[in-house]
Amino acid sequence: MITNLISMNGYGLFVWLSFGIVFLSCTILYFKTRKTLKKHEKEFLAEFKDLTIEEKKSVLEKSKITNQILATSSRIE
């Protein structure tokens, strides 16, 4: 039963190899995207710290994403 599932009538090698390549590609893409996101968040926080208090309040009122970034960064630090 298991060998039939793995071999898939002779096409198993191609199916499982394709599945592995797709899984590996998606994993690499995920980690590269995550690394880029963290880099942009750090850049944003550096620029945000340089703003005046009025500018910070204005940005916080207008952007939900800013609040999420600040909440995430405060948990990390």
Please tell me the number of Cα atoms within 13 Å of 18 on its side-chain side: 5
Domain count, the chain: 1
pLDDT above 90: percentage of residues in the chain:
47
Give the pLDDT confidence score for residue 3 in this predicted structure.
87
pTM: 0.70
pLDDT of 11 > 60? The answer is yes
Q: Which residue has the higher pLDDT, 33 or 72?
A: 33
Instruction: Please provide the average confidence, as pLDDT, over all residues in the chain.
Output: 89
Q: 37 is in which domain, residue-wise?
A: 2-76
How far apart are alpha carbons 16 and 13 in whole angstroms? 5
Lowest mean pLDDT among 41-45, 62-66, 72-76: 72-76
